[in-house]
Amino acid sequence: MHIYEILLLAIGLGMDAFSVAICKGLAMPKFSIRKAGKVAIYFGTFQAVMPILGYFLGKQFESFIIQIDHWLAFILLGGIGINLIREAKAGESEAENDQLDWKTLLSLAIATSIDALAIGITFAFLQVDIWVSSSIIGIVAFSMSFCGVKIGSVIGDKFNQKAKWMGGILLIGMGTKILIEHLFT
């Protein structure tokens, strides 16, 4: 994968965290750099760590799955993308309270990074540099989460569903690109 593909993937993965961060910002009576940083650290860290965990899980099963890796990437990315779009269509919204205790943030960080675990499994089959990719994913998620809190505190719920739509479309596109490249090369 090229660096621009990793960046697009990171943006797609970060949309769920971005949406939750917007909700956190909505619930805050006043924007706080400290609170936004706390949300961003949790989300960015988990978005960076989960692909690494998935990668090493995937490496354990590489010899069994190498023949269908492109289909797995397509299904995982497409499924995650479709789920984001489904959430956007249903108007689902997470974390509409301003609790920033470690239990709340930990559960939200895990919930928004499960898709990153699946991406890590996909990375194992695509021979992606996991350290560079995970770093990019973490930095992008951190940045998007910080901005999400700020946006949420300033302009409200307007972008929550749009972010999920865009993330879903990006992930489906990446999965389709991987499938097409493997089928026609």
Q: What is the pLDDT of residues 86-99, one digit of tens each?
A: 877 876 554 444 56
Percent of the chain with pLDDT over 90: 31
Q: Please give the model's pTM, rounded to 2 decimal places.
A: 0.72
Alpha helix positions (H), the chain: 3-27, 33-60, 62-65, 69-90, 102-126, 130-155, 160-183
Mean pLDDT across the chain: 83
Handedness of CA 11, 14, 19, 21 (dihedral sign): negative
Residue keyed to tokens 């990074």: 113
Q: What is the pLDDT of residue 35?
A: 93
Residue 164 confidence (pLDDT) above 80: no
* Alpha-carbon span 122 to 133, nearest angstrom: 12
Question: Domains of the chain, with CATH numbers?
Answer: 3-183 (1.20.1250)
